[in-house]
């Protein structure tokens, strides 16, 4: 889990103009959004990933190097009202879209790989603790056996966020990983992102999840500002 959080922090909170950081190399446009070719590095100066941006959205083929080499082709997604904007891997297709929620699934029906983005539609999410309990209650109601779970609270300039990772097994024996992050943004309300994938797709799931989060815009507000100062104890488990 420490490795996951390290990657989380590097990819989300260490991005900046090439003049001020050795953890990312790239240019910002006049709109302060990433543009052109970018590279991201670990604290050990290992190349993590590289690819093209267009107005803060990943575009085309991105190469990923750690922990395993991989490529993901991205396309820009806009919901009908353009209130939810992000980059989506080309192997996913839309299953639901509205002003408050968009959902995607793998084009191959044999692959469990789903992504959902909700924008202020969960009225019961008035606290992180309630939201966390709702996640586990939903799994319990489906008789899912949880084999491992961890939750962390991180605090940034725009407020706190909750990150949760769950490994579980369905009643039919199918093992999967669930990633979730949620945040209350003053301008747009409660936002949540959830990805669920077969356990054998865990590595790709992480790459997709942590590539969507920093490039998600809700009503023109960035879910996480990549130049945001993140504080707090990242090892907190509650």
Q: What value does the mean pLDDT take over residues 213-233? A: 81
pLDDT attached to residue 115: 98
Q: Is 108 or 226 the better-scoring residue by pLDDT?
A: 108
CATH architecture of 2-222: 3-Layer(aba) Sandwich (3.40)
Predicted local distance difference test score (pLDDT) of residue 158 = 80
Residues 6+ apart with CB under 8 A from 66: 7, 42, 46, 47, 48
For the cut 90, the answer to whether the pLDDT of residue 197 exceeds it is yes
What is residue 231's predicted lDDT score, i.e. its pLDDT? Answer: 64
User: Which pLDDT band, with edges at 50, 70 and 90, does 186 fall under?
Assistant: confident
The pLDDT assigned to 98 comes to: 93
CA 103 – CA 132 distance, rounded (Å): 20
Q: Give the residue-averaged pLDDT of 154-166.
A: 86
Is pLDDT of 4 > 60?
Answer: no
What's the rounded Cα separation, in Å, for the pair 201 and 91?
Answer: 13
Once rounded to an integer, what is the mean pLDDT over residues 123-141? 82
* % residues pLDDT > 70 (the chain): 83
Q: Poorest-confidence range of 30-39, 56-65, 67-76, 222-231?
A: 222-231
Query: So where are the chain's domains?
Result: 2-222
Give the pLDDT band (50/70/90) at residue 122: low
Mean pLDDT of 194-219: 95
Q: Higher confidence at residue 36 or residue 15?
A: 36
Look at residues 196, 181, 168 and name the one whose alpha carbon lies nearest to residue 132. 181
pLDDT for 118 beyond 90: yes
pLDDT at 126: 64
Whole-number average pLDDT of the chain: 85
3-state class (DSSP) for residue 208: helix
The whole-angstrom separation of Cα 132 and Cα 39 is: 34
């Amino acid at each position: 889990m420490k490795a996951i959080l390290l990657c989380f922090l590097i990819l989300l909170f260490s991005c900046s103009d090439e003049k001020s950081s050795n953890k990312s190399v790239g240019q910002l446009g006049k709109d302060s959004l990433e543009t052109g070719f970018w590279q991201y590095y670990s604290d050990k100066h290992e190349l993590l990933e590289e690819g093209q941006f267009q107005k803060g959205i990943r575009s085309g083929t991105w190469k990923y190097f750690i922990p395993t080499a991989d490529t993901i082709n991205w396309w820009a997604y806009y919901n009908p009202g353009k209130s939810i904007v992000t980059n989506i891997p080309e192997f996913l297709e839309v299953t639901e879209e509205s002003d408050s929620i968009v959902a995607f699934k793998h084009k191959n029906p044999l692959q469990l790989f789903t992504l959902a983005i909700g924008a202020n539609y969960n009225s019961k999410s008035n606290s992180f603790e309630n939201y966390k309990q709702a996640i586990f209650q939903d799994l319990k109601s489906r008789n899912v056996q949880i084999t491992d779970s961890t939750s962390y609270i991180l605090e940034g300039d725009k407020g706190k966020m909750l990150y949760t990772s769950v490994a579980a097994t369905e009643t039919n024996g199918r093992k999967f990983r669930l990633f979730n992050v949620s945040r209350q943004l003053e301008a747009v309300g409660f936002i949540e992102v959830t990805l669920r994938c077969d356990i054998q797709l865990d590595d790709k799931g992480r790459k997709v999840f942590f590539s969507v989060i920093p490039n998600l815009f809700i009503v023109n507000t960035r879910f996480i500002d990549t130049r945001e100062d993140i504080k707090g104890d990242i090892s907190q488990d509650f």
